[in-house]
Structure formats: structure tokens, C-alpha cells
Amino acid sequence: MHNMTNSLPVRSNPSARPISRHHSANYIVHRVKESLSTRVSKFICAIFLTLLLCLGTVFFILWINVRPHRPRFHIREFSLPGLGNTDGFETSHISFKITAHNPNQKVSVYYDSMEGSVYYKEKRVGSTNLTHPLHQDPKDTSLIEGVLRGPTMAVNEDRWKQMGRDRNQGKVVFRLDVVSVIRFKVYSWHSKRHRMHANCYIEVGWDGMLLSRTKDKRCPVYFT
């Protein structure tokens, strides 16, 4: 008897046929193109991110250099002669000196106006205009002087007696409020106008002169 298994025809599996050389070459070329495209894309992205980082660093450095900083004020002198006289309020006057410093390296400051007011126990005792329009170059310092007397003073007998009682306790405390309207200039660009306050806290002794602990003290500055 013949073996029927050996006599049956065997069908070949199409999926098991060997890949032709032409198909293999096309596949390799396609993978190489894909790899090159990916590398080029990554390279372009790296260049873009590097440029973006460099530009950001440059703009940050420029912003640090040209960003306007507030002017700095210091109280240098303050006096109220005749503080010990009982009738001194009739002829009293206040004189003071302050400095305004522009701390910026590339930014100029323009003062369109400046007014100084002196307060005692948060009640104004006088005010005066301090300076005409003033221009400050970078790193410049200006000395500003003011005098309150006559119609610019508002001290009555009761307030003068209060000052006398404080004087007998060792000191009289005042507050000098310097109000300015300023603009900043960076190269050819001008900022809008800002209203700026510099508050100088002052202590005078029995002789009406500025005490050493408040001399050259920095005055806090803020905008409104």
C-alpha cells in the first residue's frame, strides 16, 4: 500500500516567500530618509531654542540695565530756630536741605515740579515750592533747599506749646513730605508722568537742630 501522505500535493505559503532584493532596498532607503528627516527636525528645533534662549538673555540684561529705579532722597539738614522761646511761633521759620540722587545707569530723571510740606503730629505746619523743573543725568545728585517762614508757616500758640513740651522730653518729631511729578527718559523714550512722595522722618533736639540719628537718613519713596 502506498503512503497516501507522500502522494498528496503540498501548497506553498505565499507569506513565506523570500523578500525580493528590490523591496528590501526600497525599505532601507525609506528608513534612511525617515532617520535623516528626524535628525534635521531635531537640529532645527535645537537651533531655534538656542536662539530663543540667547534673545531672552539679551533682553533680560537690557531690561535690567534700563529699568527705571526710584530716585533716592536723604535728609541732610533741618532746623527750627527759637524752639525754646515761648513766643517763638510769631517769628518761627524752618529750613532744611535734602539730596535727590538718580541711581540709574542709563536712565535720566525729569522733575516737572517739587513741593515740600512739613508735618507735626500729622498736621501740616507749612509748605513751599522747592525747585523749578529739574533734569538729572544718570548717577547725578542734586542738593535741594527749602525755607518755611511767614505766610508759608501755619503754627499757632497751642501747637508751639506742644512742640515745647516735646522739646523738654528730649526731641520734637517732624515729617517732611516731598511731592514731585517726575518722568523717566531712556535714550529717546519718555515715560508718562508719575506722582512721587519722599517721606523724611525728622527728629530735632532742644536747640531745634537735627539730631544725629536722623541726619543723612534715607527717606522712603513711593508713587501715587
Supply the pLDDT for residue 60. Answer: 55
CA dist., res. 179 & res. 148, Å (int): 16
Supply the pLDDT for residue 210. Answer: 97
**Residue 150, all three cell numbers:** 511767614
CA dist., res. 178 & res. 73, Å (int): 9
Supply the pLDDT for residue 59. Answer: 61
What pLDDT tens digit does each residue of the chain (224 aa) get?
455 445 555 555 555 555 555 556 665 655 656 676 777 777 888 888 888 888 776 665 555 556 789 999 999 999 999 898 888 888 889 999 999 999 998 899 999 999 999 999 999 999 999 988 999 999 999 999 999 998 888 888 899 999 999 999 999 999 999 999 999 998 888 899 999 999 999 999 999 999 999 999 999 999 99
- 145 sits in which H/E element: strand 141-149
Side-chain-side CA neighbours of 162 within 13 Å: the count stands at 11
Supply the pLDDT for residue 91. Answer: 86
Supply the pLDDT for residue 220. Answer: 97
Supply the pLDDT for residue 13. Answer: 54
Supply the pLDDT for residue 204. Answer: 97
Mention every residue, 6+ apart, whose C-beta is less than 8 A from residue 102: 71, 108, 109, 136, 137, 138, 139, 140, 141
pTM: 0.72
Supply the pLDDT for residue 121. Answer: 95
CB burial string 191-222: b at 16+ within 10 A, e below = eeeeebebebebbbeeebebbeebeeeebebe
